[in-house]
Structure 1
Amino acid sequence: MEVATIGFTNKSAERFFGLLREANVRTLLDVRLNNISQLAGFAKKADLRFFLSELLGAQYVELRELAPEKDMLKRYQAKDLDWDQYADAYVELLAKRRVESNLDIDLFDHGCMLCSEDKPHHCHRRLAAEYLNTRWDNRLKIAHLF
């Protein structure tokens, strides 16, 4: 089962939607905490829904259960938590939420998890994909688009 991850930062709309097209994405899985007031206009929830449908024939699904908690993200952004502490807290949150039991794995087939970070190295979308993959018997083949 193929699943991708992508961040919109430092990408033009042309590059962003081109990467999704090349990866044959059928569903964009929005795992952002804040998806309505982003700097890139094409990345706002309402605009994404339209562009995905019109340009790619793809669907938009908001997955708030994979978003970090507001306080956790603020502490990381303020450097009160380093990356390792943030990552540990986020994975613990996913376990507490039991996301692997509450999400349908089929939703991830040709899906792409969206966040804002340009690269996946220090982004919760990578952690979420890896967490789900370990809970779903490594059935996901993860590709990071950047």
Structure 2
Amino acid sequence: MKIYTIGFTKSTARDFFGRLNTAGVKHVYDTRLNRTSQLSGFAKQKDLDFFLSKIGGINYSVDALLAPTADILSAFRKNEISWVEYERRYLDLLSSRKVEKHFDIDQMHEGCLLCSEATPEHCHRRLAANYLAQARTDVEIVHL
């Protein structure tokens, strides 16, 4: 079973949609807190839903349960907390939200968690994928 993650920052639309199509992604789960910012370019929520469907026949949904809170995100961006602290708070948040009860991991095969960060090292999409993958032993997480 494969679960993908992807970020759109520092990516052209051609590269972004190309990576999704090449991987065979069937569904994009938008895990962003802010989905309508002008800074999102081609990845604004309404546009992304349209582009994914038309370009790749890919389904799209917003999964706010996987988004960080504004407080956690703001504290990290303002350097008020370290990445280690962000990670701890975010994982505690997922646990308190009991996200594993809201997501059928079997349905996420060939699905992709979306966030804005260019790479997964300091992004909650990696943490969310790892958290959800704990439910099974055969999950491969691929960062596009």
- Shared fold by TM > 0.5? yes
Which residue pairs with 2:143 in the alignment? 144
Question: Are the aligned partners of 1:5 and 1:143 in contact in 2 as well (CA < 8 Å)?
Answer: yes
SS in 2 for 1:39: helix
* Inter-CA distance 38–66: structure 2 relative to 1 (3 Å threshold): farther
SS in 1 for 2:4: strand
SS in 2 for 1:103: coil
TM-score of the two chains, using structure 2 as the length reference:
0.96
Alpha-carbon distance, 1:73 to partner: 0.4
TM-score of the two chains, using structure 1 as the length reference:
0.95
Distance in 2, matches of 1:3 and 1:105, equals 9
Alpha-carbon distance, 1:110 to partner: 0.7
Question: Are the aligned partners of 1:27 and 1:107 in contact in 2 as well (CA < 8 Å)?
Answer: no
Which residue pairs with 1:119 in the alignment? 119
Distance in 2, matches of 1:22 and 1:38, equals 27
Amino acid at match of 1:142: I
Aligned residues: 144
Which residue pairs with 1:35 in the alignment? 35
Identity %: 47
Which residue pairs with 1:26 in the alignment? 26
SS in 1 for 2:96: helix
Which residue pairs with 2:3 in the alignment? 3
Question: Are the aligned partners of 2:105 and 2:133 in contact in 1 as well (CA < 8 Å)?
Answer: no
Alpha-carbon distance, 1:38 to partner: 4.4
Deviations 1:53-112 (A, max 9, x none): 100001101100000001110000000010000000000000000000111223311111
Which residue pairs with 1:51 in the alignment? 51
Task: Within 5 Å, give how 1:125-136 maps onto structure 2.
Answer: 125-134=125-134, 136=135
Alpha-carbon distance, 1:140 to partner: 2.1
Which residue pairs with 2:16 in the alignment? 16
Amino acid at match of 1:111: G
SS in 1 for 2:39: coil
Amino acid at match of 2:140: K
Which residue pairs with 2:109 in the alignment? 109
Q: Which stretch shows the higher mean deviation, 40-49 or 75-84?
A: 40-49
Which residue pairs with 1:63 in the alignment? 63
Amino acid at match of 1:13: A
Which residue pairs with 1:95 in the alignment? 95
Q: Which runs of 5+ in 1 are unaligned?
A: none
Alpha-carbon distance, 1:137 to partner: 2.4
